[in-house]
Amino acid sequence: MSSPATIAAIATPMGQAGVGIIRLSGPASLEIAEKLFVPGPRFKGFRSYRLHYGWIRNRQGQVIDEILLAYMPAPFSYTREEVVEINCHGGPAVLEAVLETLFHQGAEPAAPGEFTRRAFLNDRLDLTQAEAVLEMINAPTQAAALLARDKLQGHLKNKVQDLRQSLEDLKKDLCLAVDFPEEDLECLPREALAEKVQACVREIKALIESFEQNRVFREGALVVLAGRVNAGKSSLMNALLGRERAIVTPVPGTTRDYLEEAINLRGLPVRLVDTAGRRPALDQIEIIGLETGRRLVGSADLCVLVVDSSQAPAAEDLDILDEVGPDRVLVAANKRDLVENTPAWLEKFASRKAEVIPVSAIYGSGLEELTSRIRSRILGSRTAGSPSTMAPNLRQKAALEKALQELGHLVREAGEDVPFDLLGVRLDFACAQLDEITGRIVSEDILNSIFDRFCIGK
């Protein structure tokens, strides 16, 4: 096998920054670095895991930048190859000049995610850990980053490996039963087999459930502001964002399309959406706007039903509540400043089991309570409000579902007279699905689809 190319890329984002890092990985990394490094005063040769102070020069021998260079020898590096990292000043021009020089010395441009792909191919990371690297980089909040950290530490990998081991042990039992059919019952009674598979089924189901539980941490919870025209939805949107994002006027029907913004509610990522106010539509634009609003409300994790406290509720308000159900509704009784006491008609919402929070979007009162309730309502239905340590991503969940389906058939067939070797085929299929998760056996297409989503330099 020919040795892999030595690859190079800028690992930090392009733009002005204090420091910019260029990464080299592959057998010629140190050799290339040696050719270009102009040592500082106390340099005594390259030593691993030390920062070497000096300068870097281009192919004409001109010094380009003042740098710190680190050498991480194989196999104790990110990729398990020879790695050199060069800390330059973080300007695009200087980084490009250094990179060009590295290419001129024989390094090749790294493809997106190629460093992590090499780490995977060299067995430093399994596929769940490689994906966790991307999840860590893309994490919208600290909670999501902690989730990625757990996966990077191998929690999901270990779980899937344990499951696979259980299936493999069962497979051995099955093979014995196939080879010595007359001892069938002693080798593996069918009920015992079904029970063992059932135990795996339960664990896989729990993993799949944690996907849903952690969805809000990964993607953000969808919180939709809905209600009658003029209730103050756009004002509330602006108040929650802390800036004038949506147009607010006293004219009913100001918002015609929906607006979406991301906010961070103390670690919970939220996609906050303002929608067109409900009323009998006046024209084609409003019909479409209202339809879009309805769809958003339908898929919301939580609908904040904004009502005007100074007016008795209209059919539209109660319609929304009935449409969505009290479990997914939080009533924001807005314009609190216009009324002295809590209006008696709010009882109409309470009697339908909807939670009501008085607020004033204009004066900012009640907003803290509202955000805190939005947060706990979304997290309330999820275990202890904290992300699970092993939650699979969409790809991993799809593979778990296929494995689950197969094991479901197996449990049923174990109770029937289906021959053991056919049951063994089901086990093989389930194992193959688990292998796809960890990357033990995985197609080039799947690898490409994962690593193509990485940035260059990671």
β pairing state of 17-25 and 7-10: antiparallel
One residue of 54, 113, 220, 232 binding ligand GTP per CB under 6 A: 232
Asked if the bond preceding 387 is cis, omega within 30° of 0, the reply is no
CA distance 5 to 137: 26
Q: 292: closest CA among 284, 326, 314, 308?
A: 284
**CA within 13 Å, CB half, 377:** 25
Is the distance from CB of 163 to CB of 204 less than 8 angstroms?
yes
Look at the alpha carbons of 219, 220, 222, 225 in this order and tell me if their dihedral is positive or negative: negative
Of the two residues 247 and 441, which places its CB atom closer to ligand GTP in the complex? 247
- In the complex, minimum distance from the CB of residue 102 to ligand GTP, in angstroms, rounded to a whole number: 55
Helix, strand, or coil here: 393?
coil
Minimal CB distance residue for ligand GTP: 277
Stretch that binds Mg ion, among 17-25, 34-42, 51-59, 234-242 (CB under 5 A): 234-242
Identify which of 69, 101, 72 has the alpha carbon closest to the alpha carbon of residue 86. 69
Measuring CA to CA, how many Å separate 286 from each of 115, 225, 237, 254?
Answer: 50, 17, 20, 10
Taking alpha carbons only, the member of 289, 277, 349, 297 closest to residue 318 is: 349
Spatial contact of 213 and 391, defined as CB atoms under 8 Å apart: yes
Q: Is 441 in the site for ligand GTP (CB under 6 A)?
A: no
- The verdict on 254 binding Mg ion (CB under 5 A) reads yes
By CB under 6 A, what part of segment 254-313 binds ligand GTP? 254-255, 277
Which listed range, 9-17, 26-34, 332-340, 385-393, lies at the site for ligand GTP (CB under 6 A)? 332-340
Looking at 235, 388, 393, 433, which residue binds ligand GTP (CB under 6 A)? 235
Amino acid identity, position 195: E
- Binding residue for ligand GTP (CB under 6 A) from 52, 159, 335, 377? 335
- Contact range with ligand GTP by CB under 6 A, out of 31-39, 102-110, 179-187, 228-236: 228-236
The answer to whether the beta carbons of residues 191 and 159 sit under 8 Å apart is no
Residue 235 sits in the site that holds Mg ion (CB under 5 A): no
Nearest residue (CB) to ligand GTP, 36 versus 307:
307
- Contacted by 382, from Mg ion, ligand GTP, none: CB < 5 to 8 Å by type: none
Closest distance to Mg ion from the beta carbon of 337 (Å):
18
Q: Which does 362 bind (CB under 5 to 8 A by kind): ligand GTP, Mg ion, none?
A: ligand GTP
Residue from 98, 231, 356, 410 binding ligand GTP (CB under 6 A): 231
- Burial classification of residue 347, based on how many CB atoms lie within 10 Å of its CB (0-12 exposed, 13-18 middle, 19 or more buried): exposed
Work out whether 337 is an interface residue with ligand GTP (CB under 6 A).
yes
Q: Does 184 bind ligand GTP (CB under 6 A)?
A: no
φ/ψ of residue 337, rounded to 5: -65, -20
- Which of Mg ion, ligand GTP, none has residue 335 at its interface (CB below 5 to 8 Å by kind)? ligand GTP
β-partners of residue 322 are none
Output the smallest distance, CB 322 to ligand GTP, in A: 20
Strand partners, 228: 278
252 binds ligand GTP (CB under 6 A): yes
For position 63 contacting ligand GTP by CB under 6 A, the verdict is no
Indicate whether 234 belongs to the interface with Mg ion (CB under 5 A).
yes
Q: Please provide the distance, in angstroms rounded to a whole number, between the alpha carbons at the two ends of the chain.
A: 25
Q: Is 255 a residue that touches Mg ion (CB under 5 A)?
A: yes
Q: How far is the CB of 256 from Mg ion (least distance, A)?
A: 9
Site residues (vs ligand GTP, CB under 6 A): 229-235, 248-250, 252-255, 277, 334-335, 337-338, 360-362
